[in-house]
Structure formats: structure tokens, C-alpha cells
Amino acid sequence: MTVRIVDRRQDSKNKSSINRSRFIQRFKGQIRKSVADAIARRGIRDLDNGEKIGIPGKDISEPHFRHGRGGKRDMVHPGNDRFNTGDQVERPLGGGSGQGKGKASNEGEGLDDFVFTLTRDEFLDIFFDELALPNLIKRQLARVDEYKRVRAGYTQTGVPTNINLVRTMRGAAGRRVAVGGPYAARLRELQEELDRLKRDVPGDPDIERIEREIACLKARREAIPFIDPFDLRFSNRIRIPQPSTQAVMFCLMDVSGSMDEQKKQMAKRFFMLLYLFLNRNYEKIEVVFIRHHTAAEEVDEENFFHSRETGGTIVSSALKLMQQIIAERYSSSLWNIYGAQASDGDNWNDDSPLCRQILGESILPCVQYFAYIEITEGAPQNLWLEYERLQETHPECFALQRIGEVTDIYPVFRELFHKRLA
Amino acid sequence: MSKKKIRPIAEGSDWTVEAIERYDAEIGRVARNYGLDCYRHQLEIITAEQMMDAYASIGMPVYYHHWSFGKHFLETENRYKRGHMGLAYEIVINSDPCIAYLMEENTLTMQALVIAHAAYGHNSFFKGNHLFRQWTSADAIIDYLVFAKNYIAQCEERHGAEAVERLVDACHALMNLGVDRYKRSPRLSLEKETLRQKEREAYLQAQINDLWRTLPKQEVVEMQEEERRFPEEPEENLLYFVEKNAPLLEPWQREVVRIVRKIGQYFYPQRQTQVMNEGWATYWHYTLLNTLYDEGRLSDGFMIEFLQSHTNVVYQPPYNSPWYSGINPYALGFAMWRDLRRICETPDDEDREWFPDVAGSDWRETFNFALSNFKDESFVAQYLSPRLMREFRLFAILDDDTRKNLHIAAIHDDRGYRGLRRTLGEQYNLGSSEPNIQVWNVDLRGDRSLTLRHFLHDRRPLGPETEAVLEHLAYLWGFTVRLEEQLPSGNVNLLFEKKSEKRRREG
């Protein structure tokens, strides 16, 4: 009777995915908190990975009736190397593993974090759960008009500039070993035979025969080419289409004297969230940093967040610069444009109506979405009031929120991008 | 070893179905020569992911869904990905036919090892050991699991996944104390189970209703019986008690409690025979493959790969090693079976003194006797020889929290052998390693509160999770639940009390 062998590899591939998703569902609260913590640690563009998530062990443990510490217990352990009956040994500190309390580690605290890895998708899903990008209209015109070349292994044909030396030489060495091996083995044998004959029976007629054969084999072995056309390997590159779902994100921040380090940090978090969020929807994202006090300038990320400026505030300068950059570099037919502005709300009074005008007339028509956050705990000032009027006229692509402290950022962000019924 | 012509069963390290078949046939032939009595078996080829799945659902091919299995899956996956563990080569299901999993990543050698270990080793253990024979029904378990899965899925549809999850959580918390230790449950079968399930629902509900009905005219009589307890005898199977007596559970909830309880019961023998079972399977893969090698059917390369993984499995790190986590059941079990055969075949004076009945007896008969009639606790107490204690360099530590230091109670010397053996045997006694908690009383005429009693053993208190478990029990019971602790002196302390809000049954 032959045994039954069943190949189950094809069935029910993700059998555990139900259990896995139930697990995530159940601990969504904790997981989301971990995710939020994780965000706080990461750099603005360093968001491409999954995340290791820790959940406090006590939240997740499955309790059972068990013995706790204490009382009297006898345990047998292996590997005695020093003890004799009646010895007194000090209790090991912590009582975890190791001698004395092997079992206790199973029963004891078990409060270590339960750590597991969310896939990148799971991570972002949880993070952006229930959020949606408004105004996704332009995505649909994702045309393929660009290609990029990527490495794609090796081929046996190609142009000389693309020869891959390492691969070629490795192949050649292998071929020489493989082809020359039998000759070498035979040579060794013959040489031994020859030595033996020369030593034991000098003058044997075989000696000459063997010497001839050796010479012949050596010649053959040397005839093995060092490099054969067969060995050549070329680095291969192929063109892959690059759909132009690209976006540019403008970060506008007030760096006047009233924006202290803490407020900047909050703004940074906010920009990061936005970047991450856009990154989920677009292949390629460019970020433009514009900072301003009374005048605006475009800077790199480092300067954007860390340099200090003082002085008054003229917000319109930044908006003008943004408008100008859009016109020069990011034509709105090719780019999805997002703007995020962070400020503490101070502005030179006469400037605020101008801001509203620039935003409403030149910027909002060509952006997908523009979000304004005001980082302040004080009463709203004139910029806020002007912007509020803008929101009434452009509810679909403009939103504004106020952030009081760090913990507000995530809720505010969620509020800004909360899924709206179409 | 005499020089024999090697006719390997199959070549290469990649497996094919044909090669597996040939190996299975050869291993089976040798196993039959040794007189191993097995269920029929079936080999299933699965992926690493499926293996982790199987891990998560305690090896079962079908199982109901629950978040905790997702958690175990993540845990396993994590450790596997970091390389902390190889996936075991032995998930085997105590069913008839016995199902053994072969992972596709394994080399041919490993597949042969798994076949010998699981399909012949464990399989014959399941068939031979009295605990498995008595307590589990190999021919019906898969059916029952299918029934359980479908039933729980239906419940989720009807009552919502959340409600079912809450219930299963609570049952899982009590699973350890949901086994009958002394009487066997009736045999399971899918048809019978489905048929009887409705019957049971109706009947049970009637019982419960009856239990709680207070009939005015009986009141007088009851007053006289003030001392009458319910249950009359303390009940150690908490889940059974809940299933049969919890006042507010709905019929489907009782059924779910029953399912969790039944499955827990099914695994009880495995928990009691870890050392014996793993040792037995390891002993047999070792013996079967060595026999094949001696016959010249296995190549040297095969043996080297096999021995390497065998050695890893039976490695016992010493107590002070960073890898030490208790006694490795594979190591101890394997060594004990091997030692038992040695005692039978080539006993020395010490063995004759310690094992007068066994020394010099026929080893196959002795093996069969030991296989059928023991569990870990008694197996160790019966067969652990002084020679093995020396080999393992065993020593016993007495940890008494009233003393400042740990005390070395016994080591591997003449004075210590018996003590060591007793202590180690006791260590495998589930009855004493798990807390002894019983249903003590239900206040039938009062607030319907349920009182559990923990019988303190060696002054060992309950762990910090106790309160959480009690909460789960209170959820099941629906009324106040109390946990008392009885000291050896007879004094009783109240440990916890969980007041539960009365939940009215819907509809």
C-alpha cells in the first residue's frame, strides 16, 4: 500500500489572514498609538518601510489561572557543575532565566512588549484609516510620457561598455575549472604512476608512454581559453514606463520671531504627515520649502526647520513666491499641487486681505488642496478671519485648522483629510 | 561496519513526490519489522506560511477563527523571519488517518526525518498510549473540528463577531481548567454532534430554567436544608460547570463553551506526555534511519545532514547557559528510551539493582508496556536511571520564599537519586504544576454568586493574571464570582470578588 501524499501548497494560502486582521482590528487603538509614536521618530521622507509595532504585553496577554511567585517549589535542572547536596545558593537577581527560576520566567511578568511588524501597507492603512485625499481629479490623466531605465539582471549579449567584469570572470573561472577538471585529475594520476615507475622500475617502456600522455594532456589543458565569448555577461537595463502621477508639495512656514522651536516642531510633524499621505497616492513627490518673515525664500529642508530668523511677518511674500515657483516649474497640467501653510497667526494687518486675494485668485485655482494650520492657543487673528472667508468660497480645496499642542496634530490632520462624501 | 554496496533510496537533496513515496515505503518496512503499530497516515506538503498557520492554530488543519491565533501567527512569523527558530519538522495530528506535514522548503533528508519522526514515531505513540486511547477519538477529531469551525462561524453571523469573540476569550482563559481529569468524555462524531446539538440546546435550557425556578411551596423544605450545597461535590472542570449551570448563557453560548472545552480536553493527553511522546518519536526516527543506513539504503551525506539536525533537537543546554529554558523534553525523552533499551539489552549491576524487572528483559516488550501505561510523571518516576541522572548532571533546587537562599536539595549521587527522580516526576505532574481551583459553591437562594476555591499547595500563590481570569468567569456566569483560598490549616481567605452586572437575556 502506498502512502497518500497530498499537496496542500495551493489551497487556502492566506488562511491566517483572517486571524491576523482580527488581531489588528482588536488592538487598533494601541496599534494606532504606536504608529503615531513611530511617526514622531521618523524623518520626513523616511517613510517607506513597514513599522515594528510594540503593544504592551499586559494588554494583549491571554490570562490563565497560574501560580505566581513565592511559596515553596522544587525544580530539577541539568548540567550541575559546582553544587553539592546541602549547598546554599543566593537567589539570582531578577529571578528570570538561568538558574533557580527557569519556570518562573514562564509564569512571571510576561509584560514585555509584544512586538511585531506591520507591513508597509498595513501601517499606512491604519494610519490613514478613514482619510481620503480630496480632489483626486487630476490623477486620472496619468499619462505615460516618461520612461526610466532600471537594472534588470544580466544578458549574454550587449555593447562592450556594458560588460560586467565580475560576472564574466566568475563564469570563465567556473568554466575553466569544469572543463579542466578531468584533465587535472588524470594528470595527477599519471604523475603518480610515473613517479612510482621511475622509482621502482627504471627503464620501463611505459615511462615514455606516460610522459607522452602527460605532455599531451598539458597541452590540452593549456588550450582551454582563458575567456570564451560564451563567458561574456553584460549588465542589462530596461526601460520601464513612468506614469506621471507626480505631485509637488509646498510647505510654507512662518519663521518670524514669534515662531519658537516648539511651534516649528509641530509644523514639522504636520508637514510630515502630509508628505506621507501624499506619498501613498503618488509615485513621485517633490517638496518645496518656503519660509518667510517679512520676505520669503526657498530653502532646503535643513534650513527650513532649523534656522532662526527674527522680525515681522508678511505672509503674502510666501504666497507670491509659491505662485511664482508654480508658474516657473510646476505647470498645473502636469503636476498635482498641494500646499500646506503653518503659521502662528501673526501677520501684518494690512497684508491679510492681500493674502486672501492671492490665494483665492491665483493659487487655489491651480492646486488640488491647500491646508492652513495655525499653531496658537490665543484668539484667532486677522489672517485666520480672512482665511475663513476663503473657505466659504472654496470649500472643496481649502481647509484650515488650529493646533494648540502636539497631541492635536494627528486629530487635526485627520479632520482636514477626513473622508467626505462626494 | 561491514562494507556493503550502497543502494540509496533516492539521490539528491531536492525532494520529489516519488522520492518521498520510496522513503516512506522503506521507513514503513523497517518500522513494521520493529513491530511499530501505527494508524494509517497521510503526508501533506505545505508551505512555510501554512506551517506557521498550523502553529498558530495548535497544529489543527481546520480551526475556528480568533484573534489570539493571529497573535500567535505574528509571533511565530517574527521569530522565523529573524531566524530565531527553524520551523519544527513535526506537526502531526492525532487523527486517523494520522496527518503529518512536510514543509516544501525541507530537503529530502529532512522530509525522510519527518516521516520517520511523525508518521511512524508520533503516530505509533498516539495509537499505543493509554491516555490517547482513552481520552481522544482519533477517527472523529477532524470531523469535530469542522463542526466547531462551522458552528462558530454561524454564531458570528447570527450574533456578531464581537459577541462570539468575547465569549471565546473567556473560554480560552478557563481552558486549562476545562478538562476532566478522571472520567472520559463520550466519543465525538460530526453527525451525532450536529444532531444532538439542537437536542442538547433545548434540554439544557429547560434544565437551567428549572434550576433557577423558585417554587414557593418548597421554600419551607428548603429552609431546613440551609446547609445543602450546590454543587454537592466540588467541581474541578470549570468550563463544564459553566456550560451546564451558568444561569444566563444562551444555548449557542453553551455550545461554544462546550466546543472550547472539548478541544481543550483533546489536547490534555499531549500536555501530559510531552517527554514520552517527543522522546519516543525521536528515538524512532533515530533508530529507523540508522537501521536503513546499516542496510546500506542511505548515503553518508544523508546521515550527516540527518545527524546534524538530530543533534540539534536533542541538545540540552546546562542550567547556566543563556539558552537554557528548562529541561528539553526531546533530550530527556530520547535519552530515557535509549537508556531503557540499554537496560534491557546490556544491564550492569546498578541497573539490576534499580530495575530488577526490566534488566535483561525483551526490549520490545518493555517498550510496549512503557508506551501503553505511562505518562510523563510516572514514566520519569519509573524509568529514570541513576546513570542518566549522572549524564544529565541533574540537581534539584529547593526554592522556599521563607528562606534567604536557594537550597540544593539533591544532586546526582547515591543520596540524591531517589529524591531527584521524585522531584522531576512531580515536575511533570500537571495536577501540581497547575493551581488547584474548584467550584466550591453557588448561592442558589441568595444572589446566585459563584464561589471558587483555590487549594494552596506548598504555599504557592496565584499569579497576577488571576483577577483578569476571574473577570472572564464573571462574564460567563453573569453574577458575582468570588475566589477564595484555602490554606492547609483549613482557614479560608477571600482573594477576589467580581461583581457582575445582571445581564438580561435579549428576547
Is the Cβ–Cβ distance between B24 and B43 less than 8 Å? yes
Looking at CA atoms only, how far is residue B267 from chain A in angstroms?
16
- Across chain A, mean pLDDT equals 76
What average pLDDT score do residues B242-271 get? 89
Rg for chain A, CA atoms, rounded? 36
Lowest mean pLDDT segment, chosen from B7-11, B282-286, B300-304: B7-11
B497–A contact, CB cutoff 8 A: no
**Facing residue for B316 by CB, picked from A78, A99, A105:** A78
Domain ranges of chain B: 17-129+273-308, 329-432
What pLDDT, on a 0 to 100 scale, did the predictor assign at position A385? 83
Query: Per-residue pLDDT averaged across B420-438, rounded?
Result: 89
Cell triple for residue B266?
483533546
To the nearest whole Å, the CA of B319 is away from the closest chain A CA by: 6
SS3 B180: coil
Whole-number Å distance between alpha carbons of B90 and B72: 18
Chain B residue whose CA is closest to A10: B46
DSSP B117: I
Is the model's pLDDT at B308 over the cut of 50? yes
- With contact defined as beta carbons under 8 Å apart, do B104 and B47 qualify? yes
Cβ–Cβ of A99/B319 closer than 8 Å?
A: yes
pLDDT at position B151:
93
Q: What is the mean pLDDT of residues B406-428?
A: 92
Instruction: Indicate yes or no: CB of B408 within 8 angstroms of CB of A88.
Output: yes
Query: Residue B232: exposed, middle, or buried by beta-carbon count in 10 A (0-12, 13-18, 19+)?
Result: exposed
Higher pLDDT, B223 or B340: B340
Residue B377 has pLDDT above 60, yes or no: yes
Q: Could you tell me the pLDDT band of residue B76, with boundaries at 50, 70 and 90?
A: confident
What confidence tens digit (pLDDT) does each residue in A100-146 have? 333 333 333 334 567 777 666 676 666 666 565 555 544 444 445 56
Question: Is the preceding peptide bond at A229 cis, omega within 30 degrees of 0?
Answer: no
Highest-scoring range by mean pLDDT, A286-295, B107-116, B343-352? B343-352
The DSSP secondary structure of B244-268, one letter per residue, reads HH-SS--HHHHHHHHHHHHHHHHHH
User: For B467-495, what is the mean pLDDT?
Assistant: 89
Q: Within an 8 Å CB–CB cutoff, is residue B411 touching chain A?
A: yes
Nearest C-alpha in B relative to A113 = B75
Task: Decide which of B501 and A100 is more confident.
Answer: B501
**Is A114's CB within 8 Å of B52's CB?**
no
| Bridge pairing between strands A284-292 and A246-254 | parallel
Chain B residues within an 8 Å CB radius of A109? 464
Residue A399: pLDDT band with limits 50, 70, 90 = confident
**Mean pLDDT value across chain B:** 84
Could you tell me which residues are beta bridge partners of residue B462? A67
What confidence category does residue A316 fall into, taking pLDDT thresholds of 50, 70 and 90? confident
Residue A84, all three cell numbers: 553539592
Furthest C-alpha separation in chain B: 92
Q: Which residues contact A165 (CB under 8 A, 6 or more apart)?
A: none
- pLDDT at position A107: 33
Q: What is the pLDDT of residue B199?
A: 76
**What pLDDT was estimated at residue A415?**
73
Task: Please tell me which residue, A282 or B71, carries the higher pLDDT value.
Answer: B71
Is the model's pLDDT at B174 over the cut of 50?
Answer: yes
The model scores a pTM over 0.80: no
B69 vs A16: CB contact, 8 Å cut-off? Answer: yes
Q: What angle do CA B216, B219, B223 make, to 5 degrees?
A: 170
Note whether B393 contacts A76, CB cutoff 8 Å. Answer: no
User: Cell triple for residue A236?
Assistant: 542589462
Strands B481-486 and A234-243: unpaired
pLDDT surpassing 90 at residue B432 = no
ipTM of the complex: 0.81
Q: Give B497's strand partners.
A: B482
Q: CA of A67, closest CA in chain B: separation in Å?
A: 4
The percent of residues in chain B predicted with pLDDT above 70, rounded, is 88
- The more confidently predicted of residues A18 and B168 is B168
CA distance B359 to B353: 9
- At A421, the pLDDT band (50, 70, 90 cuts) reads very low
What band does A409 get if pLDDT is binned at 50, 70 and 90?
confident
Give SS3 for B430. helix
pLDDT above 60 (res B216): no
User: Residue B368: which pLDDT band, with cuts at 50, 70 and 90?
Assistant: very high
- The whole-number average pLDDT for the span A350-377 is 85
Give residue-wise pLDDT tens across range A41-52. 555 555 555 566
Residues in chain B within 8 Å Cβ distance of A66: 434-435, 462-463, 465-466
Percent share of chain A, pLDDT over 70 = 75
In the predicted structure, residue B345 carries a pLDDT above the cut 90: yes
Asked if pLDDT for residue A390 goes beyond 90, the answer is no
Interchain contact, A103 vs B326, CB within 8 Å: yes
Phi, psi of B113 (to 5 degrees): -60, -45
- Grid cell for residue B484: 477564595
pLDDT in tens, A23-34: 877 887 777 777
Q: In chain B, what residues touch A19 (CB-CB under 8 Å)?
A: 56-57, 65-67, 69-70, 73
SS3 track for chain A = CCCEEEECCCCCCCCCHHHHHHHHHHCHHHHHHHHHHHHHHCCCCCCCCCEEEEECHHHHCCCCCCECCCCEEEEEECCCCCCCCCCEECCCHHHCCCCCCCCHHHHCCCCCCEEEEECHHHHHHHHCCCECCCCCHHHHHCCEEEEEEEEEEEECCCCHHHECHHHHHHHHHHHHHHHHHHHHHHHHHHHHHHHHHHHHCCCCHHHHHHHHHHHHHHHHHHHCCCCCHHHCCEEEEEEEEEECCEEEEEEEEECCCCCCHHHHHHHHHHHHHHHHHHHHHCCEEEEEEEEECCCEEEECHHHHHHCCCCCCCCHHHHHHHHHHHHHHHCCCCCCEEEEEEEECCCCCCCHHHHHHHHHHHHHHHHCCEEEEEEECCCCCCHHHHHHHHHHHHCCCCEEEEEECCHHHHHHHHHHHCECCCC
Per-residue pLDDT reduced to its tens digit, A233-292: 888 888 776 655 677 888 888 887 777 777 877 787 788 777 777 777 676 778 888 888
Q: Which residues in B lie closer than 8 A to residue A100 (C-beta atoms)?
A: 397, 399, 406
3-state secondary structure B119-178: HHHHHHHHHHCHHHHHHCCCCCHHHHHHHHHHHHHHHHHHHCHHHHHHHHHHHHHHHHHC
pLDDT at position A348 is 79
Contacts of B435-439 spanning 24+ positions with Cβ under 8 A: B435/A65, B435/A66, B435/A67, B435/B460, B435/B462, B436/B236, B437/A65, B437/B177, B437/B236, B437/B238, B437/B483, B438/B234, B438/B235, B438/B236, B439/B231, B439/B234, B439/B235, B439/B236, B439/B238, B439/B241
Instruction: Say yes or no: B321 contacts chain A, CB-CB below 8 A.
Output: yes
The listed range with the strongest mean pLDDT (A194-198, A295-299, A417-421, B178-182) is: A295-299
Cell digits of residue A371: 491646508
**Separation CA B324–CA A100 (nearest Å):** 11
What mean pLDDT do residues A338-353 have? 83
Q: How far is B170 from chain A (nearest CA, A)?
A: 9
Q: Which residues of A touch B80 (CB under 8 A)?
A: none
With contact defined as beta carbons under 8 Å apart, do B447 and B480 qualify? yes
Q: How confident is the model at residue B424 (pLDDT cuts 50, 70, 90)?
A: very high
B231 upstream amide cis, omega within 30 of 0 = yes
CA distances from B392 to A77, B381, B386, B389 (A): 9, 16, 10, 5
